[in-house]
Amino acid sequence: MSVLKAIYKREMGSYFGTPIAYVFMVIFVFLTGIFTFKIAGFYENGQADLRAFFFWHPWIYLFLAPSVSMRLWAEERKSGTLELLLSLPVKPSTAVIAKFLAAWTFIAVNLLLTFPLVLTVMYLGDPDMGVILAGYMGSFFMAGAYIAIGSSFSAASKNQIVSFIMTVVSCLSLILIGYTPFIKFFSGVFPDFILEQMRNLSFIAHFDSIQKGVLDLRDLIFFASLIACGLYASLVILEEKKSE
Amino acid sequence: MKPIQTRSFIGLIAIVILFIVINAVSAPIFRIFRLDLTQEHIYSLSDGTKTLVKNLAEPVKLKYYFSATDSNDYPVLKNYGERVQDLLSGYARLSKQIELEIVDPRPDSEEAEWAEKYGLSGIQLPGGFVLYCGLVVANETGKEETIAFFDPKREEFLEYDISRLISSVSNPNKIKVGIYSPLPLEGVMKNPYMRQQTEGSDPWYFLNELKQLYDMEILRELSPIPPEINLLILIHPKQLSETDQYAVDQYILSGKSALILVDPFCEGDASEGQNPMMMGGARDSELPPTFTKAGIEMPKGKIILDRDLATQVQTQNGEVFNYYVWLNLTSAQTNKSDAITGKLESLHIPYSGFFMMKDQAKKDLVIEPLLSSSSTASIGDSSLLLFGGSPERITQSYSPGIEKLPIAVRVTGKLKTAFPAGKPKAGEKTENPGLKEEEKNKTQPEDTSPHLSESMKPVHVVLVADVDFISNRFSLNVANFMGNVLINPINDNLNFFFNSLESLSGSASLNAIRSRGKFARPFTRVKEIEKHAESRWLEEEKSLNQRVEEINTRIQAIMQQQDANKALTDTAIVDELQKFRNEKAETQKKLRTVRKNLRQEKEELGTQLFLINTFLVPFLILLYGLRVMILRGRHV
């Protein structure tokens, strides 16, 4: 546990030790503000909820999460510290989990920095705080899933750009797979059963459900299984690289 | 090296498959584990529905027709349709007896044809396409009931409406309704041999509708009340004998529902030989003693005078006056969270009484007002209505009151008998004027049911302090069109009556479904700002608009003069015209400013909040980051 803690601390230090972290936070808060107010028309809608804010999260994470996750392993490999890390008496699984947790925490900090929006909506009306809390939880779980996928691609490629692009493509597929026009496109090709399964594997379907204010065990299983699978894939790839 | 790569590759493929399998398997298994975090639990079904659904004896099929694909351009319907679908899925999750089928009827499809056959209605689109959002509930024997269209305005009653349908389909037996009244509800034939009673009277129309909706029986007497009756309607019960009062008492304590209409002054109560212009206590009825003993009373001989709800009436001489005893109730006087009155908008209640509840009643029972007067109503004596009820006298005796007087209430809870000593000795029975001779002579079976000293189950009764509101005169417009009698409701009076019956005939679990919270949570602060701006600027806008109108009229008048003179030579007129035009331009400019002011405050707030969230917060983060970096630099 102390090893996990040590790696986690080292990772957190490396996030907040560079100006890039702050630039990242600025971009995150700025973008969510622009999307919420100017694109989703939060103020004009006149409804005291944060639907306009959460609606864009799958798309904002699509680019921001891979840019956090791409450096998880690629940087270590580039600078040659990966071999060092793996030669220490550290279980690769511990390293994978610690690095993932650090990246997830970093995204969580970003998410928490959007709290002025919650104050705004409380100032404007009488929002359902349960729904807002659920929205934040859903967004947090979804961010974890993005990071876990990104972690495996970061482990697989030395090149951060390749890792970034592969993560974006994978996550985009997991968004589109539940997107109605996309499902409609395939409705003639696959039977309904397959289409239903496709929808069931999509970020949108699960995030939407949580965002409405309902914590469904199936949604939690979806995100947890995606995180577990992403991390396990990172582990399999790292083990292979280690043996190389 | 290669074998390892292959192994890893297989491992990765296995992980992906594992992910797919976990989610495919968990979807049907874990569908009941959900936590509704919304404040009003809008995604959870109430206990009433849960009991209803779990006790279903036979399977019920729900066919939800929702144009999901074609409603993309209609966000309100789309959102609401999805909300309905969520709720219906909740029903299906509760019990295997409920099978939910979701149908997306596309234009010209077989599904759309079926939707039409079921009588579902929807939003008509150009080209004859219809956007559906309706429900068909069917049982195994083929009994079907439908909600033709889920109106977003009825959102609070969504669960109630669906559960009511399921309850009705799963209990196919018609409710047996018994109705008792001394009034000639079935009408009185004109009697050519009697001078005094020359007019006769028409049957009360609501009876026709009652016969269609329920298995109805007109009760000629109340002791005993036939045991198969499970909904009793008492209209104007006056001077009931002790035996009859006891029968009603025991009926109510048995937990069966009742709708009781009493009146301190019933216009329709013009008993034989009675002068219709004279009325004292003879035209009133009273609550059964079961209620008076529990602490609910309708004060005898007292009526509501209400200036704010008064009806404007025109006399034959063309004189217009406000009649304080004919109350026009709007949605402001109805209970919006009750399924009976939630959607009623206009009721006309003539010569209404009111209920008074003692503290004891409030403690033992749940008494919810359904209809009430305005908060400035006062109490008058029914003797004011003597000799036609002079409006002047009524107006003079009015003085503004301070609280709302309940006109109709829903009573639930435990009640005690008003006859603790048991059944009173058989005395004289109340004679029902409508009773035929052979019915009078018919011997009734002796009631042998055991005496109840208190309610076995929670009682469920609706009490109304007026009777006339369901009479044809105050609820309908009857027109004769080419030999056909056309009957049109003129207000929600009969809707109130039938909604009450519907609610009372529902099972206890159905009545436990309260109206639900709404999705919509508007920006109250913005609304306040708008209201404030309106109070400040609207008056000015109005006067400026008026000024522009005036100037326009003046200009027009001058222009007409000019037309008549053909050529405009008089410089004085030209100058005046120019002056008016300048003034108009000036006023319009002011008007634009006022309109801008009306929006300004709201828009300013929007801009400020946008700037704070999008620029100020990132800027603060940046500042903090810089500080950290500088400190770290120094430290290093």
Cα A161 to chain centroid distance, Å, stands at 18
Structural domain of A67:
2-243
* Residue A199: predicted pLDDT: 79
Percent of chain B with pLDDT over 90: 27
A233 touches chain B (CB under 8 A): yes
Partners of residue A214 in chain B, C-beta under 8 Å: 34-38, 43
Alpha helices in B506-523 (DSSP H): 508-511
CA distance A136 to B518: 22
Mean pLDDT (whole number) for B353-362 = 88
CB contact under 8 A, B39 and A130: yes
* Contact: A214, B8; criterion CB under 8 Å: no
Q: Which of residues 213-232 of A touch B (CB under 8 A)?
A: 213-218, 221-222, 225-226, 229, 232
Cα(B235)–Cα(B180) distance, rounded to whole angstroms?
6
Mutation choice for B interface testing from A36, A43, A118, A200 by most B CBs within 10 A: A43
Instruction: Quickly state the pLDDT bin for B278 (edges 50, 70, 90).
Output: very low
- What is the structure's pLDDT at A108? 95
Check whether B152 has a pLDDT greater than 80. Answer: no
Task: Mutation target for B interface from A132, A177, A240: give the one with most B CBs within 10 A.
Answer: A240
Chain B residue nearest residue A227, CA to CA = B19
What does the pLDDT read at residue B280? 46
Q: How far is B45 from chain A (nearest CA, A)?
A: 13
Chain A positions touching B526 (Cβ under 8 A) are 46, 124-125
Which residues face B216 on adjacent strands? B177
The interface residues of chain A toward chain B in range 55-74, judged by CB-CB distance below 8 A, are: none
- Whether the Cβ atoms of residue B382 and residue B302 lie closer than 8 Å to each other: yes
Q: How close, in Å, is residue A89 to chain B by CA atoms?
A: 23
Total CB pairs under 8 A between chain A and B: 168
pLDDT number for residue A135: 95
Measured in Å, how far apart are chain A's first and last C-alpha atoms? 28
Question: What is the 3-state composition of chain B as percent helix, strand, coil, each rounded to the nearest 5?
Answer: 40, 20, 40
The answer to whether B201 and B187 are in contact (CB under 8 A) is yes
Supply the pLDDT for residue B276: 46
- Count Cβ atoms below 10 Å from residue B592 Cβ, excluding itself: 11
Is the model's pLDDT at B62 over the cut of 50? yes
Residues in chain B: 636
Q: How confident is the model at residue B551 (pLDDT cuts 50, 70, 90)?
A: confident
d(CA B266, nearest CA chain A) in Å: 47
pLDDT of residue B264: 93
Domain extent listing, chain B: 47-169, 175-190+203-268+280-299+354-372+404-424+451-511, 524-603
The tens digit of pLDDT for each residue in B595-610 reads: 787 788 888 999 999 9
User: Could you give the CA distance from residue B331 to residue B344 in angstroms, rounded to a whole number?
Assistant: 6
User: Among B22, B36, B626, whose Cβ lies nearest the Cβ of A214?
Assistant: B36
In angstroms, the separation between the Cα of residue A170 and the nearest Cα of chain B is 12
Cβ-defined contact of B33 to A46 (cutoff 8 Å) = no
**Closest Cβ opposite residue A197 in set B15, B24, B628:** B24
Give the C-alpha separation, B32 to B43, whole Å: 12
Higher pLDDT, B558 or B322: B322
Confidence of residue B180 (pLDDT cuts 50, 70, 90): very high
- Closest Cβ opposite residue B521 in set A22, A126, A200: A126
- ipTM reported for the complex, 2 dp: 0.88
**Residue B16 and residue A229: Cβ atoms within 8 Å?**
yes
Which position has the token pair 């999509």?
A202
Q: How confident is the model at residue B553 (pLDDT cuts 50, 70, 90)?
A: confident
Q: What is the pLDDT of residue B277?
A: 47
Give me chain B's average pLDDT, please. 82
Higher pLDDT, B177 or A204: B177
Compute the nearest-CA separation of A131 from chain B (Å).
5
Q: Is A192 on the interface with B (CB under 8 A)?
A: no
What CATH number belongs to B47-169?
A: 3.40.30.10
CA nearest neighbour of B198 among B272, B277, B279: B272
Determine the residue among B37, B76, B615 to mutate to test chain A binding: the one whose Cβ has the most chain A Cβ atoms within 10 Å. Answer: B37
Q: Do A128 and B524 touch (CB under 8 A)?
A: no
pLDDT above 60 (res B199):
no
Q: In a mutagenesis test of the B interface, which of A217, A222, A226, A238 is the best target, namely the one with the most B β-carbons within 10 Å? A: A217
Query: CA quadruple B333, B335, B336, B341: dihedral positive or negative?
Result: negative
Q: Which of A133, A173, A218, A234 has the most B C-beta neighbours within 10 Å, making it the best mutation to test the interface with B? A: A218
Identify all chain A residues contacting B5, using CB atoms and an 8 Å cutoff: 240
CB B257 within 8 A of CB B465: no
CB pair distance less than 8 Å for B23 and A221: yes
Tens digit of each residue's pLDDT (9 = 90 or more) over B368-414 = 999 999 988 999 988 888 777 778 888 888 888 878 999 999 999 88
CB-closest option in B20, B522, B621 to A47: B522
Q: How far is A187 from chain B (nearest CA, A)?
A: 13
Number of separate domains in chain A: 1
Six-digit token string for B344: 């009623």
Pick from B496, B463, B334: nearest CA to B404: B334
The residue behind tokens 């907040």 is: A16
Helix residue spans in chain A (DSSP H): 2-16, 19-34, 42-45, 51-54, 57-69, 71-79, 81-87, 92-112, 115-124, 129-156, 160-176, 180-186, 192-200, 203-211, 217-243
Residue B632 to residue A17, Cβ atoms within 8 A? yes
